[in-house]
């Protein structure tokens, strides 16, 4: 290794590669002294020659002691150069970074120490090489050797100080590297990344919020890390970003929606809870700007409503209600096809609140956009009719309300064949099917009851969609079933034609200042022989009578419980009547 043209004395070169640490250290001090002298003379060529020898003959040597000596020598060179180190970083850094992957742990430690000394004197000059340095840091943080890890921590703190005090850091070139490493599951690398995300976010000029979609998913994934400190650090970072989103004037919500939707389906509790909390805030903050993503957000919310964790369910249910209110009151029209596809899928859920939420949404869309939503009735009806078989009474009642809105609100001339048949199926054949399946188990003297409406024999504007035909069919079937079930099993069959009651299904009909049923109730009180309120108990009492032995000879009857409204042939509150009285 003795070279007559070398600016370093042979004795220094020999000591620099010695197995003794003290000899290598003394040689490094001699190099530092010589570099200072060359620097004072302005002999840059000989300085570069020293660096070349250290990099070529020592740092890449097959002898581990030579590599250690080369790294100490490069650190000494940087200290000797001081502020001028920046001009030689292209030569100083590559051999040091190369030794980060050295098979010898002590060499890796010396490489870490060497870079620390270079960075200490070069300061902001190293930022040009930041990505290469960060690559090395990730390698060192994942190292199996404790000393190397400790050295990496010291180096990391120094580089962070340099970045935070500089205005020359280019976050845009760093983001691809962050995206690369944030997918790693190594806890030490994750710890490094969270620390850097937090530090960069604290620097005002970096605008990390603008780059959040690029690493948000990785940050969420850290919530399920096995290391408690990493989970807490990630949770804290996410909380801070959410606070920034709330206070920021401009936020691009769209690129983050898909990430949140995926996290809402995570197997990890904290991931799901944090994600649905973010979804809730996004809906509150983003409003109509999230229009293209409504179906995705609704799917994520509905999924969390069926979560086995109570806290997640509570947040999801509240979010779903707020979301529904937002869509209902918004003047903008959302794309219905993906939204309805999501809702139809949720009706297949095993969880009752999820199905209830989906039905409330369908009901709202039918109310807000009746014409647009009715174009999808063909796809919706099979799913809705299947849901009628649900074990939950709440679900069945809400399905009936939805079906009522679908069928009744459309004029007969605009009713499709599927809608007409669905009305008949739900309001007439369901009674036939019920009796067919239960009559074999009903003893003689039993009674079967259904509910009908005066629209079966009178024209009631607004009661459309084939429902008037279905009620006429029900009354006709009642008479036929009375004969067949009476002869076959001694079963009585009757139907009650109730006056206007504010039931859930009836309340679904119509929109505006008053619903159809509210108009009907007002009309009934104004025109019935008995001008009084009609209550569900009145209908129930009549049903009790028809089921009791007091009605043992009554079958095939349509019993009117309507304060006598069905007997009237003239409306007392009609305009013509008012003029005549005047």
Which token pair is 330?
């918004």
Q: How far apart are CA 507 and CA 362, in angstroms?
A: 15
Nearest alpha-carbon partner for 58 in 119, 3, 4, 5: 3
Token pair 């949404």: residue: 361
Helix (H) or strand (E) holding 493: strand 492-498
In sequence order, the 6+-apart residues with CB closer than 8 A to the CB of 369 are 333, 336
Which token pair is 141?
């943080």
* CB 61, CB 70: distance < 8 Å: yes
The pLDDT score that the predictor gives to residue 3 is 56
Q: How far apart are CA 574 and CA 417, in angstroms?
A: 35
Give rounded-to-5 percent helix, strand, coil for the chain. Answer: 75, 5, 25
Q: How far apart are CA 535 and CA 517, in angstroms?
A: 13
List, as one string, the DSSP characters of 444-481: TT-EEEEEE-GGGTS--TT--TTHHHHHHHHHHHHHHH
451 forms beta bridges with 496
Nearest alpha-carbon partner for 166 in 127, 221, 115: 127
In sequence order, the 6+-apart residues with CB closer than 8 A to the CB of 199 are 160, 163, 164
Compute CA distances 534 → 499, 529, 546, whole Å.
7, 13, 18
Which of 110, 116, 181, 453 is flagged as catalytic? Answer: 453
Model confidence over 368-408: pLDDT tens digits? 988 888 888 888 988 988 898 899 999 998 998 887 777 76
User: Please, what sign has the CA dihedral across residues 348, 354, 360, 361?
Assistant: negative
Model confidence over 525-564: pLDDT tens digits? 888 899 898 998 999 999 999 999 999 999 999 999 999 9
The pLDDT score that the predictor gives to residue 582 is 45
pTM confidence score: 0.78
The pLDDT score that the predictor gives to residue 293 is 95
Which of 463, 519, 523, 560 is flagged as catalytic? Answer: 463
Q: How far apart are CA 530 and CA 524, in angstroms?
A: 9
Q: What is the DSSP letter of 334?
A: P
Backbone torsions φ then ψ of 182, nearest 5 degrees: -70, -10
The pLDDT score that the predictor gives to residue 507 is 47
* CB 36, CB 77: distance < 8 Å: no
Backbone torsions φ then ψ of 494, nearest 5 degrees: -140, 165
Task: Round the average pLDDT of the chain to a whole number and report it.
Answer: 91
Nearest alpha-carbon partner for 471 in 491, 488, 490, 450: 450
Model confidence over 175-195: pLDDT tens digits? 999 999 999 999 999 999 999
User: Catalytic site residue 519?
Assistant: no
Model confidence over 128-175: pLDDT tens digits? 999 999 999 999 999 999 999 999 999 999 999 999 998 889 999 999
Q: How distant is the alpha carbon of residue 270 from its chain centre?
A: 13
* CB 452, CB 495: distance < 8 Å: yes
Q: How far apart are CA 438 and CA 499, in angstroms?
A: 28
Question: Cα angle at 270 between 267 and 276, to 5 degrees?
Answer: 90
CB environment 93-120: b (16+ within 10 A), e (fewer): bebbbebbebeeebbbbbbbbbbbbbbb
User: Catalytic site residue 463?
Assistant: yes
Ordered per-residue pLDDT tens for the chain, 582 residues: 455 567 889 999 999 999 999 999 999 999 999 999 999 999 999 999 999 999 999 999 999 999 999 999 999 999 999 989 999 999 999 999 999 999 999 999 999 999 999 999 999 999 999 999 999 999 999 999 999 999 999 999 999 999 999 888 999 999 999 999 999 999 999 999 999 999 999 988 888 999 999 999 999 999 999 999 999 999 999 999 999 999 998 899 999 999 999 999 999 999 999 999 999 999 999 989 999 999 999 999 999 999 999 999 999 999 999 999 999 999 988 899 999 999 999 999 999 999 999 999 999 998 898 888 888 888 898 898 889 889 999 999 899 888 777 776 678 888 778 778 878 887 899 899 999 999 999 999 999 999 999 988 988 887 777 888 999 999 999 999 999 999 999 999 999 999 988 655 544 455 556 677 788 888 888 888 998 989 989 999 999 999 999 999 999 999 999 999 989 888 887 766 665 444
């Amino acid at each position: 290794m003795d070279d007559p043209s070398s600016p370093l004395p042979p004795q220094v070169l020999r000591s620099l590669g010695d197995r003794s640490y003290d000899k290598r250290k003394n040689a490094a001090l001699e190099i530092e002294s010589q570099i200072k002298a060359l620097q004072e003379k302005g002999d840059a060529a000989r300085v570069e020659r020293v660096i070349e020898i250290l990099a070529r003959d020592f740092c890449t040597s097959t002898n581990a002691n030579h590599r250690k000596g080369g790294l100490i020598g490069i650190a000494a060179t940087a200290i000797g150069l001081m502020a001028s180190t920046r001009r030689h970083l292209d030569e100083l850094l590559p051999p040091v970074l190369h030794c980060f992957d050295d098979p010898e742990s002590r060499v890796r430690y010396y490489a870490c120490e060497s870079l620390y000394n270079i960075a200490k004197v070069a300061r902001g000059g190293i930022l040009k090489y930041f990505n290469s340095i960060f690559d090395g840091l990730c390698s060192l943080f994942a190292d199996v050797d404790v000393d190397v890890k400790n050295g990496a921590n010291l180096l990391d703190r120094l580089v962070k100080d340099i970045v935070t005090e500089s205005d020359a850091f280019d976050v845009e070139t760093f983001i691809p590297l962050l995206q690369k490493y944030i997918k790693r599951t190594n806890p030490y690398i994750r710890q490094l990344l969270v620390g850097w995300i937090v530090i960069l976010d604290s620097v005002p000029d970096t605008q990390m919020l603008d780059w959040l979609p690029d690493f948000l998913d990785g940050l969420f994934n850290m919530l399920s890390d096995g290391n408690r400190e990493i989970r807490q650090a990630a949770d804290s970072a996410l909380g801070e970003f959410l606070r920034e989103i709330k206070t920021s004037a401009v936020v691009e919500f769209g690129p983050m929606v898909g990430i949140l939707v995926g996290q809402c389906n995570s197997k990890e509790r904290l991931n799901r809870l944090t994600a649905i909390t973010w979804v809730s805030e996004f809906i509150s903050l983003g409003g109509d700007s999230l229009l293209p993503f409504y179906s995705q957000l609704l799917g994520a919310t509905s999924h969390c409503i069926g979560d086995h964790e109570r806290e997640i369910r509570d947040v999801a249910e509240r979010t779903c209600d707020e979301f529904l209110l937002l869509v209902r009151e918004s003047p903008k029209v959302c794309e219905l096809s993906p939204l309805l596809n999501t809702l139809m899928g949720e009706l297949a859920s095993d969880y009752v609140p999820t199905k209830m939420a989906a039905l409330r949404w369908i009901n709202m869309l039918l109310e807000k956009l009746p014409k647009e939503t009715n174009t999808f009735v063909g796809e919706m009806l099979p799913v809705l009719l299947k849901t009628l078989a649900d074990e939950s009474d709440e679900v069945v009642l809400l399905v009936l309300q939805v079906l009522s809105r679908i069928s009744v609100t459309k004029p007969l001339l605009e009713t499709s064949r599927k809608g007409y048949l669905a009305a008949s199926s739900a309001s007439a054949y369901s009674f036939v099917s019920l009796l067919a399946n239960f009559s074999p188990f009903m003893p003689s003297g039993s009674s079967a009851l259904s509910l009908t409406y005066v629209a079966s024999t009178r024209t009631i504007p607004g009661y459309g969609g084939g429902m008037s035909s279905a009620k006429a069919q029900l009354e006709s079937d009642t008479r036929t079933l009375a004969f067949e079930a009476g002869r076959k099993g001694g079963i009585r069959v009757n139907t009650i034609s109730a006056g206007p009651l504010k039931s859930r299904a009836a309340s679904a009909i119509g929109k505006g200042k008053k619903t159809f049923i509210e108009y009907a109730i007002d009309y009934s009180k104004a025109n019935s022989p008995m001008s009084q309120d009609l209550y569900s108990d009145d209908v129930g009492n009549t049903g009790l009578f028809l089921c009791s032995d007091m009605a043992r000879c009554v079958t095939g009857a349509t019993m009117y419980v309507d304060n006598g409204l069905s007997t009237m042939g003239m409306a007392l509150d009609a305009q013509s009547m008012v003029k005549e009285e005047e």
